A and B are shown apart, each in its own frame.
Chain A
Amino acid sequence: VWLTPHAAVAREGHLAIDAWDQLDETSHETCCFYFSADGEEINALARSPEHLLEICDVVLRLLAASVVHSVRFTDSTLGSFMNAPTLAHLMEQCQSLKCLRLEQIEMDEDHFRVLGAYWGAGLEIVLISCKIMSAGASALVEVLERNQGPTNLDFCDIDNFVVANGLRGNSPLKSFRPRLSGIHDDGNREVLAIAATLKENKSIVELNLWHDFRMSDETWDAVCDSLKTHPTLEVLDLRSMYASGASHTLSPAKLKSRIQALWDMMKTNVSIHTIHLRDHYRQYELFRGTIIPYLVTNRLRPRLLAIQRTRPILYRAKVLRRALL
């Protein structure tokens, strides 16, 4: 451990982290920032945000001078220790960077301008549980519209009505898990806004609409309808925590109606191969008989297309004939 009276750095899992808590018991809350570069994890600990800022700056400057491919920054206090100039310096210096993960970072419009400016094909930018301010949300949409910016948005605290506008067209965004409101009306409105723009989306591969409210039939149908012709989506998560209690289990008629909506979606969608739902959907015979065959077909479709591209029809006919005989 590297220790000063106010701050320390130590490897993840080091005894010093517990010791720091013991040593710093007079402080109400220890400020922590976690660094990880190519799997090498270092924790910065401080007794105040000011001291944490100082020590983080030193580590970040060392990081900027390093050759690393994957970095992750986690702010345990959801603070702003990764400011935009620091992020810009890091991205400018770390030309070898292939994956940037920001967790629990407070982000504003300047952060997204930096991400847009230094974004390049092949760079994976993952934002997890970040707090994105209102101006930051608008800047994120602008960046996405320019086909730049994050590739993953995972459970970030952001205005979903604003970020929904960034889903139109083609963008680097491949994985999207919105943090939906737990209030029924608000949650349904947010999903409806997202579904409205998903129709025009051409890039998302994984969509996770995990929710903790009672999704209305109208919302369910809107989601299914928006994905009927989606060209890239492969994994869809529609699980609900709200329906976990017996009193909230859907009636057979309602369950059938929802599976029918999924079936209609799968009839035309050629990319979705995985749908995560609660168990009572899977136990329903209609689901097993209608949805699963489409999912299997879509799962095997890339393999089929690959065979079609590599071998002529005549050759394939001969192989089939040999197999049948």
Chain B
Amino acid sequence: MVSNGNEARVQPHRPIQPWRSRPIVPPVVSLMLCQPWHKKNIRMYADRWTTHATPKRCQGRVQTYNGAYTSFEKRDSISIRERFLLGRPSLFVDATKSLFLKTRDDEEQHNNVSHFTMERLFSPCTRLHDILESQGRLGIFEGRRQVLQELNLDVSTEELISTERAFTYAGLYAMLGNEDTQSLCG
């Protein structure tokens, strides 16, 4: 997935296939251990995004787990950092906590997991958004809607630690401490 902000692509608005069309993924989908096979599928998912507007400020649209669309503004393409942050706003929400645990159970119990795992791993923020919205509690993230954005994983472990990327411990430390960082993008 393009993610360096200079390549905001304008794509035609096209219908997005439901989750069942997604290929089956292995049961253990670790974000950090995402191998090229996973990556390919993630790219497919990422390609469902539609973006337009300027490189610095663009509009994002994402399909939620129930097929609806959620729109949001974003300054850049989605970063892996944001993807890693997905659990953070939900840590204090019981619904998302149970979602987290269920996702994990699915991974362990279903050897041929598929769309459930894929859906839950890659759309929990959207689900959280919808859950909160249905409960009328979305206001608690007023002004911080970006934490509910659906995110996009575009870096595998091998890429992360590759010589070319030259990512270091200090980079990881900075990434963990910077709320707005997009240091892994591009």
Chain A residues packing against B (C-beta within 8 Å) = 1-11, 14, 16, 19, 22-23, 26, 35, 37, 40, 42, 54-55, 58-59, 61-63, 65-68
Contacts and interface: CB of A to CB of B under 8 A. Distances in A.
B88 A65 contact: no
A35 B171 CA distance: 14
A1 B103 CA distance: 18
B166 interface: yes
Nearest to B80: A2
Given A4-B30, A4-B32, A54-B33, A59 B172 contact: yes
Name the 6 nearest CB pairs between A and B, nearest first.
A2-B84, A19-B91, A66-B168, A3-B87, A5-B104, A66-B169
A58 B33 CA distance: 9
B170 interface: yes
B86 interface: yes
Contacts of A58: 32, 157, 160-161
Contacts of B33: 54
A42 B172 CA distance: 9
Contacts of A19: 87-88, 91-92
B97 A1 contact: no
28 contacts: A5-B100, A8-B87, A9-B172, A9-B176, A14-B176, A16-B91, A19-B87, A19-B88, A23-B100, A35-B169, A37-B170, A37-B173, A40-B173, A54-B30, A54-B33, A55-B32, A58-B160, A59-B172, A62-B160, A62-B161, A62-B168, A62-B169, A63-B168, A65-B161, A65-B166, A65-B167, A65-B168, A68-B169
B139 interface: no
Nearest to A61: B161
A66 B172 CA distance: 11
Given A5-B104, A54-B30, A11 B173 contact: yes
Interface of B: 30-33, 81, 84-88, 91-92, 97, 100-101, 103-104, 107, 121, 157, 160-161, 163, 166-173, 175-177
Given A11-B177, A68-B169, 9 more contacts: A1-B176, A2-B32, A2-B81, A3-B31, A11-B173, A16-B91, A42-B169, A42-B172, A62-B168
Given A26-B101, A63-B169, A42 B176 contact: yes
Contacts of B30: 4-7, 54
A100 to B, nearest CB: 14
B91 A22 contact: yes
Contacts of B85: 1, 3
B144 to A, nearest CB: 15
A54 B29 CA distance: 13
B174 to A, nearest CB: 9
Given A11-B176, A61-B161, A4 B31 contact: yes
**Residue from A1, A2, A8, A62 whose CB has the most chain B CB atoms within 10 Å:** A2
A82 to B, nearest CB: 15
A22 B94 CA distance: 11
B23 to A, nearest CB: 20
B107 A5 contact: yes
B117 to A, nearest CB: 9
